[in-house]
Amino acid sequence: MYDITIWIAEGFLALFFFVAGVPKMIGAVSERWAGFEEVPRGLVTLIGIAEIAGGIGLVAPQWSGIAVWLTPWAGLGIVVIALMGSGFHLRRQEWPAAVGTALWALLATAVVIARWGDVAHAPSISRHNVLPGVVLVLIVAVLANLVVLSRATSAKPAGTAQARQAG
């Protein structure tokens, strides 16, 4: 029963993030979600690719039995994506969307915890070989977030000044 429950959680997460990632990847977010006009197109595409890869990574390794150790890492990626999405919604004061996205992160955390034992089957990699890559990814992520946040704080919502003048 435990494994079935984890599979159901993985399936929901995979479906949600696949469906959320495809429009971002193909450039159809403006029709579905407000606020993405503030985010650079390349970053939206990258987010979409990461969501799709995370969704596939949650189910494909377990289903195929190949590299099952990738599942918890995909889940961890989904946690990061969901928490960043929650922050995006909080910045826009979209409270229900922020809570909903945080709940997706919580569900992904449960999958990570449940599947973490599979990481023991991962190929052995020296930490000296991994550290430069991890540092590079962190630097790129921090820079991307700083660019998005600086653009969001410098851009004023349309109509706010006009509404104050009219009132």
pLDDT of the residue at 39:
84
Residue 148 near residue 40 (C-beta atoms within 8 A)? yes
Alpha-carbon gap, residue 74 to 52, rounded angstroms? 10
Count, in order, helices (H) and strands (E) of the chain.
7, 0
Q: Looking at residue 123, what is its pLDDT?
A: 75
Environment class of 162 (CB within 10 Å of its CB; exposed 0-12, middle 13-18, buried 19+): exposed
pLDDT at 29: 76
Name the CA radius of gyration of the chain, rounded: 18
What is the distance between the alpha carbons of residues 53 and 146, in angstroms, rounded to a whole number? Answer: 24
pLDDT tens per residue, the chain (167 residues)?
A: 888 999 999 999 999 999 999 999 998 876 667 777 888 888 899 999 999 999 999 999 999 999 999 999 999 999 999 999 998 988 888 889 889 999 999 999 999 999 988 887 777 766 566 667 767 777 777 777 677 666 655 555 554 444 444 44
CA dist 159 → 19, 36, 140 (Å): 32, 17, 34
Contact 57, 77 (CB under 8 A): yes
- Return the pLDDT at 163: 43
